[in-house]
């Protein structure tokens, strides 16, 4: 990371995700180690029997590897980080790796912000946000989750993909991104106890 890279503060990972992130390796690693040891014992026998026992161990090893590698890669169980770099928006997560979105590939930005100063968002506001996201999915957009929780979410449209991130200050993030992408299209959806407030243009 160069000195010109600017880190975008992100929301903290919520407690449920953090616990699952710890639980997956704590459960899977002992099983994986035991089953690998068990397979090694079978294969080092004078006349190894490649039967049901070995098959069960191999299935257990495969399942453990899926839990350890695939689930954290697909699900945001570990903290995501974001940077504005000279080349584009960089997002990264443990096991997921690093992805850089060139600025010229970013089409528009949508912000979903929960305003809970007067209470939790109404069911109508949550339904509005959920229906809008579902409509995007139905029209062919692929969502890639780099969020840490659900309080403040920015949807970054880049071609047929939508990258979901959680900057701690979405409006400040929008302002900084707008300096790098002239004419950036921005929609802000604020979820309140009275419903959803929609605003087009930079906040």
> How many secondary structure helices (H) and strands (E) does the chain include?
5, 10
Instruction: Give the mean pLDDT of the chain.
Output: 86
Domain borders along the chain are: 15-74, 80-200
pTM of the model: 0.80
Out of 14-23, 68-77, 135-144, pick the least confident.
68-77
How far is CA 162 from each of CA 34, 65, 78, 105, 158, rounded to the nearest angstrom? 40, 28, 19, 11, 6
pLDDT tens readout for residues 23-80 = 888 888 888 888 888 888 777 777 666 677 778 888 888 888 888 878 877 788 889 9
Spatial distance between the Cα atoms of 197 and 180, rounded to a whole number of angstroms: 27
Residue 11: the pLDDT is 92
Residue 50: the pLDDT is 65
């Amino acid at each position: 990371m160069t000195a010109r890279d600017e880190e975008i503060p992100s929301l903290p990972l919520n407690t449920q995700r953090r616990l699952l992130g710890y639980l997956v390796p704590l459960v899977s690693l002992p099983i994986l180690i035991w089953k690998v040891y068990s397979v090694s014992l079978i294969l080092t026998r004078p006349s190894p029997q490649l039967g049901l026992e070995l098959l069960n161990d191999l299935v257990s090893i495969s399942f453990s590897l899926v839990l350890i590698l695939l689930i954290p890669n697909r699900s945001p169980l570990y903290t995501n980080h974001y940077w504005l770099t000279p080349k584009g928006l960089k997002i990264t997560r443990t096991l997921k790796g690093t992805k850089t979105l060139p600025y010229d590939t970013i089409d528009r930005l949508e912000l979903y912000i929960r305003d809970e100063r007067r209470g939790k968002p109404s069911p109508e506001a949550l339904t509005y946000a959920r229906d809008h996201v579902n409509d995007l999915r139905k029209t062919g957009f692929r969502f890639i989750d780099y969020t840490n929780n659900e309080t403040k979410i920015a949807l970054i449209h880049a071609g047929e993909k939508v990258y979901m991130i959680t900057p701690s200050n979405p409006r400040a993030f929008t302002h900084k991104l707008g300096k790098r992408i002239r004419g950036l299209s921005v929609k802000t959806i604020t979820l309140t106890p009275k419903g959803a407030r929609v605003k087009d243009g930079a906040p």
